[in-house]
Amino acid sequence: MERFHWVRHRCRQFLAVDSERGWYSPPDGLPSKSSPQRVSGRRRMVLARHGPHQQEYEAVSKKYKGNAIRTTKYSLLTFIPMNLFQQFHRAANLYFLFLALLNWVPVVEAFEKEITMIPLLVVLTVIAIKDALEDYRRYLFDKKVNNNLVRVFCGKQKSYIDRCWKDVRVGDFVRLSCNEIIPADLLLLYSSDPRGVCYIETANLDGETNLKQRQVVSDLSLQGADFTPESFHSRIECENPNNDLNRFKGYIEHSGGARVGLHSSNLLLRSCTIRNTETVVGIVVYAGHETKAMMNNSGPRYKRSQLEKRLNTDVLWCVVLLIVMCLIAAVGHGLWLKNFRDPVFQVDGETSPALAGFYVFWTMIIVLQVLIPISLYVSIEIVKLGQIYFIHNDLDFYNEQLDSRIQCRALNITEDLGQIQYLFSDKTGTLTENKMVFRRCSIYGVEYPHVENARRLEVYEAEQNEAACLTVTLKSACSGKSMSCRSLSCNRSSVSLHTLTAESPEEEDQLSNHATARTGAFCSRMAKDVVPDPELVRKLNCLCSSTLHLGDGSTESLSSLELTYITDFFLALAICNSVVVSSPSQPRHVVPEAQAPLKSLEEIKLMFQRLSFYSFAPPQIKGSPRSFTSKLFTRGKTGSFTFNTAPNNSSNGSEAALDSSQETCKLKSKGDLFDREDSAAMWSQEDQESKGDCDGGKQNIEDPSRDVESDEDCDEELLYEAESPDEAALVHAARAYHCTLRGRSAESLLVELPGIGSLVVQLLRILPFDSNRKRMSVVVRHPLTGQVVVYTKGADSVIMDLAETQKGSEQIQEILRHIREQTQKHLDMYAREGLRTLCIATKVLEEEEYEVWLKRQLMAESSIENQEELLLDSAERLETDLTLLGCTGIVDRLQEDVPETIEALQEAGIKVWVLTGDKQETAINIANACKLLRSNDRLLTANCGSKDACVALLEELFKEIQHDEDREESLESTSSFILVIDGRTLEWALQEELKGSFLELSCKCKAVICCRSTPLQKSKVVQLIRDKIGVMTLAVGDGANDVSMIQVADVGIGISGQEGMQAVMSSDFAISRFRHLKKLLLVHGHWCYHRLANMILYFIYKNVMYVNLLFWYQFFCGFSGTVMINSWVLILFNLVFTSVPPLIYGILDRDVPADTLMKLPELYGAGGTTKIYIPATFWITILDAFYQSLVCFFVPYFALAGSDAGILSFGSPVNTSALLIILLHQVIESNTLTWIHMLVLVLSAILYFGFVLLYSAFCVVCSHPTNLFRVETLQMSQPLFYIICTLTTVTALLPRILFWTLFNSLHSSAALRSAQRDEAAAERYRRRMQRWNLKHSGHSSLAVCADNPGLEPSMHEVVS
């Protein structure tokens, strides 16, 4: 099949009329061999189209594709040859073509030539019309997109002119305004924002509506009043086109020879929309089908279902059966000619018996062609479309809040939903809401439980349950504001142009509604209204104190260090993110002017003299720490916060400061040093004296009537748009403590600190989060100290390893060790409570150290080859020897009905595995909450530090399970095992030599929980189970980290949650809630598999039964290939008369009602569904078809024996009986009979009789001599014809009727068993309550109520 696709692709290339237009299939991502960039490796050179390098531009860019897109498959000239070529790569059409051509050979001709062409022509015509309509729709969409106008720079006119998208070329300068859609992949060269940033919305690519910030190429000195393309003389070298939306590598080389690295934040992708930026200018680097958007257009997903694979095997058996029957006919005909003497009619005596037998073999291939159920494949596709229609329109899958319903993206694996044996699920966003809410935190080793915040969450949940609203209301004020501020200062309207696929208006509405939901979810009331912890507020209020007292002693120094940690902790929460800040009166990209600090600089100086900022910063950094006074005020300036020059570095001064700090620090015992109660006692006498001032500040923060209301106009209007919900939760938490992020630009952040006011934080570098590092970092210049500081947040397993004990004095090591130990205890406690944990750390860099690292980072960014590895290495060099500040615990609630869904799936025989990147304790807690782990289950934990330990542990756990199984057999008790394995151990277990042991152990367990697993490990686990055990697997997830396992699994399901649409776009089915899996699998999965399996068996039965009638007749005509049925009726029998009933059977049949399937999940398991279509049922169906064909042939044969009936007189009752038997057979097999079923069956019979009568009565010379005039009309006018048909039909179907009668008598249906079970339970309850009444009440009776409807109304009736 791969060769067919390759040939198809090559033919498309040869038939292409316009070399600049691509085809519907995605391009290979590599240019042709003759293109210049192929010679230079994996790079392409981009020059300005109207620049000084005209000759070089013509030589380099002539092979680049234009911007016109073509998603159509055909043109007027290529439609017929291309469509025929596509259709004939199907085995079914090739089979029909072979038979049609074979019938043109005179010596093997069985029917008239035009008759055998009918099935092929019908199939080709229907499919061609369908393809033409689809392609015409694509053509109209392409025409609309290609003719959109955009302003492109014209070198002759020296100005921007309107051009169609299709006329844009690589190297063109494109000018865009707000709300305009980007026509090609552009390198951003200019933005009207003075800071060189713009914002784009990528909803057309990935469904995400949170704005992405893009930045003008750094060091490009073209920002001014306007951009002049004539002044652009640089060269751009970048990687060749690829489909990675998040990667762009290259560099721009200026005329002076300087190179500047390019990355994805400099690239504006085609089909995205410009937001909140008046004007941007970019140069086209990729156009048309070379853009990343078009290269991601892979078309609909195609997977082969297990049922089709099983069907292919059975079709091969049908081929074997056909060959055997044709060989019998060939041998029989040869023997008949050899032994025939003195013929009374003309026989060809010149042909030898062997050659005549050879001819008959091919004649019988034509006659018995229906035995191969090739048309079954077309019928299956139609049935699947009908099944998908009912799944898609099931109201139970409709999410009213998101205004979304289930999406069926893979059209040919619906029946696989009914055969799932292993389900692999992500945790966050799949089992949980992925709506993060700040719950509690730990700073400086002190835990702040936020008790009032916990009560607030309980109140919100109670309110939501009372309002019957299971999730946060989507149409919030925040959502409305967020949407309204997008079009600020923009007069142009936005038109949704999807360049990936031509989506319907319904899909566009669904996408937009989903986008609104996402915007509202991140700024919900539950996430915003964080209640501060009183103790933490009291400590922070010291920054708000207007009267500062200097003190000495150990407690003062420790308190100052703790306050330093607290301030840095909340500053990290506010700035270590990619959150976009906006408000109705403020565009997202604007950083407002910093207000004057609330305190004078002299007060700040006194304050931070007291706090001794960074007095205990990592001592291994040369020249650090220093007192704040020397850091901030050594420049001889006052009233200024300008930190453009590096501070004076003095190692002697720093060491003196460190020694002074160490001398003032007297440690307490480990037991009470960092205890939360004792932390308050560490404050000095001076703190107690100034407590009134701190309490005053505390009132200002806590009293909503004062502080909150006074800041309501500005604070409540701030809107945070985050790329992930946990980022938004942390920013809201920092804001609750008045550490507010107020603005963001490419180079700075505006942050308001409590007691200080708004400060501009210079943003030096951002190291974004990735799944390998599991952390994110920002490099800033501290707004108070002027130092280069790194703030890092990430998974605790990573941060705790990077925050090793620092070098220095024993006292410093003791403090850092205790902070680490206490924080680890709090992390474990949070994980046991099911909270998501993140660690916050920091690091102070020397200017020299930062400059060295920056050079390495810039070199990595400007590299094209191995850029990912170089950037990873650069990040790892920076994120070392961190100082741990604290950790956070974030609530991520379970989705509704998750426990019930998992319980039902397990009862259905499906093993549920959870693959998550969270901590082990968190995963176990969630497993308990969702009933994956029960009280009687035994937990097996696999955490190893080495490969040898992993080998020993796997063997030990397996032996333990075997020992318990043996003991349980003797005690007649059962218990289940749950395996919990961490990421490091899983990495070893997935190695080739340990796969077998891990697989053997996991098969013994009821469920497996993989913690700290990476996306690659998730996919490897799914692939291991799928390939080694050979079971049907399903993977469900909601984020980009789940894409790999979704694609590896037999069935991939994406949840349209809070993490974008990557999982949905990679999935086979997309749902909005995890609970929808229950009905999707237990009901629709069961129905789809049951219907399709039964329809396939029925189709095979129908074909085999009918073909055998022709085969039995060969024993009475010398195996000559003669048929006793009209050739037109013979061809139309399967094509028309009996084609529709199987389709209705496969779409509408229901063996068990939906409520019963939901109530009895065990009906889904191996005992019910999956035994329908197995080899045994296939051969039983074949034998039944043989029996019915024998009855259908020989009953009319013996009934007409000795009469003068001719061939057609004998064939007419045989053919009519076959039709009645086949139709009534379906009635017997159907579990559901509706008016649609009956209408189709009656119309099929009427159509048959009407065609036969009209054809026999009016077509005198048609198909002579097989259609003698009025023979069938005469037969159908005689009573004997109907007697024979009735007797034949009853005799053929009687055994099946008796079988089903006995089977249903001995095995009650599922619905009946469910009703009997409910009735028996009610009867047991009634008797138990009667006994209780007799025992506890002498003459009174228990009232009848809704809970006990079966109780008798009075005790007298019970006694009687």
Q: How far apart, in Å, do the first and last CA atoms of the chain sit?
A: 78
Strands 1033-1037 and 422-425: parallel
d(CA 814, CA 795): 24
Q: Which of 147, 179, 176 is nearest to 163 (CA)?
A: 147
Q: Which of 1154, 1057, 1074 is nearest to 900 (CA)?
A: 1074
For residue 207, give both structure tokens. 């469904």
> Mutual orientation of helices 1140-1148 and 1207-1229 as an angle, nearest 10°?
10
Q: Which of 243, 232, 230 is nearest to 187 (CA)?
A: 232
- Contact yes or no for 761/753 (Cβ under 8 A): no
Contacts of 1007 (CB under 8 A, 6+ apart): 906, 911, 912, 913, 914, 927, 932, 933, 976, 978, 979
| 591 phi and psi angles, rounded to 5 deg | -100, 110
- Helical spans, DSSP H, in 161-242: 203-206
For residue 999, give both structure tokens. 């697989």
- Contact yes or no for 201/582 (Cβ under 8 A): no
Find the angle CA(1244)-CA(1250)-CA(1255) to the nearest 5 degrees.
Answer: 125
d(CA 990, CA 1009): 15
| 305 phi and psi angles, rounded to 5 deg | -80, 160
- Contact yes or no for 550/169 (Cβ under 8 A): no
Q: Which residues pair with 1098 in a beta bridge?
A: none
**DSSP state at residue 648:** P
Residue in this structure with the two tokens 């002017």, named with its chain if needed? 593
Task: Give the torsion sign (CA, 204, 207, 213, 219).
Answer: negative
Helix H or strand E encompassing 647: none
Half-sphere CA count of 18, side-chain side, radius 13 A = 17
DSSP-assigned letters across all residues of 362-391: HHHHHHTGGGS-THHHHHHHHHHHHHHHHH
Q: What is the CA radius of gyration of the chain?
A: 39
**DSSP state at residue 1267:** S
Q: Which residues pair with 442 in a beta bridge?
A: 447, 887
d(CA 778, CA 792): 7
If DSSP codes are grouped into helix, strand and coil, which group holds residue 402?
coil
**Is the bond leading into 353 cis (omega within 30 degrees of zero)?**
no
- Contact yes or no for 586/715 (Cβ under 8 A): no
Q: Which of 22, 16, 90, 4 is nearest to 297 (CA)?
A: 22
d(CA 658, CA 844): 15
Q: For 15-79, what is the HEC assignment?
A: HCCCCCCCCCCCCCCCCCCCCHHHHCCCEEEECCCCCCCHHHHHHHHCCCCCCCCCCCCCCCCCH
Residue in this structure with the two tokens 């010679």, named with its chain if needed? 39
| 425 phi and psi angles, rounded to 5 deg | -125, 140
Contacts of 780 (CB under 8 A, 6+ apart): 575, 749, 761, 762, 763, 764, 788, 789, 791
Give catalytic residues, as residue numbers.
Answer: 426
**DSSP state at residue 167:** G
